[in-house]
């Protein structure tokens, strides 16, 4: 459907929203509080103190005469790190993204916020808002997928939920930290328009729509200048143009100097020491060196005053300056309510990729009397530090974004328990040996093969993978296991636990495939709910799934370089705006599974698309009807083509979505607003977001990027 740009405006303003306490009110309180601080006290507020050797991964010294208790910073984004099982081990952010459910995003942020608050943690190091350029990138499971609009919308909800509990959320990693190889000695070389429209877009939304309190600068350089030394990104763009009023912290040990980093606009050095280890407690690139630089006029006193003001202003806005809980990482918050929410998100994030002959859900009425559950990924998880191993079912990737699990519900246990209610026999083979798997499967009415692939952070190497995946194959000879089982049993279902796309040479050999991602502690229950039809799958892929060679870019495997040095691995973002599905549309490549793809146990029909341009943006409505026989949740998606006057632009952009539960035969109308910002493109000459001065938008509606019937 085409629509004129008649109500266009020339430029879209950068404006901040407000939450419980406005930035203006917080600023007044902070300025008054800071009036009598000495420079020594100010420097202590901006420089981490324990170098990650204390209770918290990051900390700031108290100031007793001011009644300031100091600060505790702690990892997310999958929950509270180093809590020894007392905190919930949530699903990966990429799973939450697959739900396409804003309400769940808010609830997860709210629940996590409460867990951080109860422990007296001031700053939660979440959410991660980087873009999935290459499927082999190690930390894609910590963020929200390939689309900047989707990542921004999810960030809004998570941040609002978390900050509603009085905890400071941290949008990270600013910016272009989209691969692990040499992350601390690499340059993400991003064209200006793509920088704004793709990589800064989630942060734009975090600042303007979620009023985020803190942002973490990334390890890598952008266009040759390290993020922590990049005045253009930190001060000119983030603080001045976007109007960000919170504080910017470094990623851990990302700072290698004082002049360039503090002078560029960094506000907090984490965790304080020059390098890792107790020998560097109190030995910082900042600390007293800030005063030395002020004395030498390298940067002015006002730079220190501003950094401190930003930190204290954020604390006032979060209402943390009085009556905040004492730090105790071991407060019990791994509650039944949190487990239930984790289980729901896990179930709703399961993406049904194939369901030939309606093989799922499992029902005894369908003559299923015996199930074979096969593969080590169906078995209990072996725990190891930062999950730096892949032994048993895979609940999360590895690195700082994971948690200390109290328990993981393994798939075999959950399936066995649920099957008893149907009087279905379960046999199992908990290894990845193809011959043994085939033997276990041959006499069953249905075989379920659990397989996996893993990835994580660069500082841990797992089975030869230093953060980024070496390839997109299943681990532990998963393809061979599936082939053997499928040859022995015509009713084979595959369940995949992985951070993102994997190669699927077995696609035509099996009847069912469920992508379960990384579901957290309730993993087994979440997949069982879907396999048995207690939950109708409603997950959709937040990225494009295709062979590795079809993507416009990839990670590299360069030899390790010293962090912060002049020599850098170069990552050229030559695809520009054409990341993910945009590239596949441009090149006419048919993906294995499109962005937004996801099947259900029912069917949906889309109709009656209506659009109207108003002062606040484009109002879209579309009717969805459940044409199947069971209740299910539909996700109508809106894509937009820009007027022809916008040159060298993607043919379609994802710009809206909703999620609605529909009973069999029921119809509902979804109403979606595409605001003026999302009707705009970034003009590199004006250095502003602008709406096209003339021409027509074209609106598309459907269920995924390659299924847009309206």
Q: Which residues are catalytic?
A: 251
Instruction: Enumerate residues 6+ apart whose C-beta is below 8 A from 613.
Output: 3, 4, 5, 6, 7, 619
276 burial level (CB within 10 Å; 0-12, 13-18, 19+): middle
Residue among 427, 429, 428, 438 nearest 480 (CA): 438
User: Which two tokens mark 207?
Assistant: 């600042």
Tokens of 586: 């441009």
φ/ψ (deg, to 5) at 565: -90, 175
What's the chain's Rg over C-alpha atoms?
25
Return all residues near 684 (Cβ < 8 A) that are at least 6 apart. 192, 193
Look up tokens 């369901």; give the residue: 355
105-117 residues labelled b (16+ CB within 10 A) or e (exposed): bbbbbbbbbbbbb
- Judge whether 704 and 637 are in contact, CB under 8 Å: yes
CA distance readout (Å), 203 to 185, 268, 452, 640 = 23, 18, 32, 22
CA distance 469 to 555: 9
| Residues, the chain | 710
Q: How far apart are CA 519 and CA 18, in angstroms?
A: 33
Identify which of 441, 581, 454 has the alpha carbon closest to the alpha carbon of residue 511: 441
CB 525 within 8 A of CB 346: yes
Tokens of 161: 């939920």
Query: Which single residue is written with the structure tokens 């050999």?
Result: 509
- Residue 294 DSSP SS3: helix
Which of the 8 DSSP states describes residue 167?
A: P
* Dist CA 442 CA 513 (whole Å): 19
Cα 617 to chain centroid distance, Å, stands at 27
Eight-class DSSP state of 273: S
Strands (E), 410-498: 425-429, 446-452, 461-462, 465-466, 492-497
Residues 77, 125: Cα–Cα separation, whole Å: 7
Please report, for residues 137, 384, 392, 503, 522, the alpha-carbon distance to residue 389 in angstroms, rounded to integers and kept in the order given. 17, 6, 9, 21, 19
């Amino acid at each position: 459907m085409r629509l004129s740009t008649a109500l266009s405006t020339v430029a879209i303003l950068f404006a901040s929203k407000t939450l419980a306490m406005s930035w203006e009110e917080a600023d007044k309180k902070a300025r008054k509080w800071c009036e009598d601080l000495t420079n020594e006290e100010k420097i202590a507020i901006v420089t981490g103190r324990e170098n990650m050797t204390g209770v918290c991964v990051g900390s700031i010294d108290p100031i007793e005469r001011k009644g300031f208790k100091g600060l505790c910073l702690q990892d997310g984004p999958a929950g509270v790190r180093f809590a020894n099982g007392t905190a919930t081990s949530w699903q990966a952010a990429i799973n939450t993204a697959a739900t396409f459910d804003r309400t769940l995003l808010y609830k997860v942020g709210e629940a996590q916020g409460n867990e951080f608050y109860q422990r007296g943690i001031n700053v939660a190091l979440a959410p991660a808002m980087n873009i999935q350029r290459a499927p082999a990138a190690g930390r894609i499971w910590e963020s929200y997928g390939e689309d900047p609009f989707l990542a921004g919308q999810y960030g809004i909800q998570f941040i609002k939920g978390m900050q509603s509990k009085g905890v400071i959320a941290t949008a990270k990693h600013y910016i272009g930290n989209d691969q692990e190889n040499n992350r601390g000695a690499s340059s993400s070389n991003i064209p200006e328009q793509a920088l704004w429209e793709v990589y800064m877009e989630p942060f734009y939304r975090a600042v303007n729509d979620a009023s985020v309190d803190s942002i973490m600068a990334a390890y890598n350089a952008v266009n040759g200048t390290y993020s922590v030394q990049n005045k253009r990104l930190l001060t000119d763009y983030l603080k001045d143009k976007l109007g960000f009023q919170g504080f910017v912290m470094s990623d851990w040990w990302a700072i290698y100097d004082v002049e360039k980093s503090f002078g560029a606009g960094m506000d907090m050095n984490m965790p304080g020491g020059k390098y890792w280890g107790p020998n560097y407690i109190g030995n910082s690139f900042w600390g007293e060196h800030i005063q030395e630089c002020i004395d030498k006029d390298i940067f002015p006193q006002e730079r220190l005053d501003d950094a401190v003001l930003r930190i204290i202003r954020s604390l006032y806005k979060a209402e943390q300056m009085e009556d905040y809980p004492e730090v105790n990482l071991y407060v019990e918050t791994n509650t039944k309510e949190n487990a239930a929410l984790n289980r729901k998100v896990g179930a709703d994030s399961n993406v049904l990729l194939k369901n030939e002959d309606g093989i799922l859900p499992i029902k005894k009425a369908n003559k299923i009397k015996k199930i074979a559950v096969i593969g080590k990924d169906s078995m209990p998880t072996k725990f190891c530090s930062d999950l730096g191993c892949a032994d048993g079912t895979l609940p999360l990737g590895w690195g700082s974004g994971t948690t200390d699990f109290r328990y993981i519900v393994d798939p075999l246990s959950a399936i066995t328990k649920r099957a008893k209610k149907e009087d279905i026999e379960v046999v199992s083979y908990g290894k990845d040996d193809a011959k043994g798997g085939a033997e276990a499967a041959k006499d069953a009415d249905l075989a379920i093969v659990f397989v996996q692939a893993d990835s994580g952070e660069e500082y841990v190497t797992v089975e030869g993978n230093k953060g980024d995946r070496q390839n997109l194959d299943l681990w532990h000879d998963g393809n061979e296991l599936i082939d053997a089982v499928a040859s022995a049993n015509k009713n084979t279902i595959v369940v995949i636990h992985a951070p993102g796309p994997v190669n699927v040479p077995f696609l035509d050999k099996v009847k069912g495939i469920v992508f379960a991602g990384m579901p957290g502690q309730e993993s087994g229950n979440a997949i069982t709910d879907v396999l048995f039809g207690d939950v109708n799958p409603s997950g959709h892929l937040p990225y494009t799934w295709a062979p590795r060679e079809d993507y416009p870019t990839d990670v590299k495997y360069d030899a390790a370089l010293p962090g912060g040095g002049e020599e850098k691995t170069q990552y050229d973002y030559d695809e520009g705006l054409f990341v993910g599905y945009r590239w596949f549309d441009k090149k006419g490549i048919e993906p294995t599974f499109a962005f937004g793809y996801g099947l259900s146990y029912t069917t949906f029909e889309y109709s009656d698309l209506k659009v109207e341009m108003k002062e606040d943006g484009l109002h879209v409505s579309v009717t969805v009807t459940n044409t199947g026989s069971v209740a299910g949740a539909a996700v109508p998606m809106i894509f937009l083509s820009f007027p022809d006057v916008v040159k060298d632009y993607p043919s379609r952009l994802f710009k809206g979505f909703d999620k609605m539960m529909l009973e069999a035969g029921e119809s509902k109308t979804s109403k979606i607003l595409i605001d003026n910002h999302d009707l705009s493109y970034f003009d590199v000459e004006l250095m502003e977001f602008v709406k096209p001065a003339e021409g027509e938008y074209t609106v598309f509606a459907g269920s995924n990027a390659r299924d847009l019937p309206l």
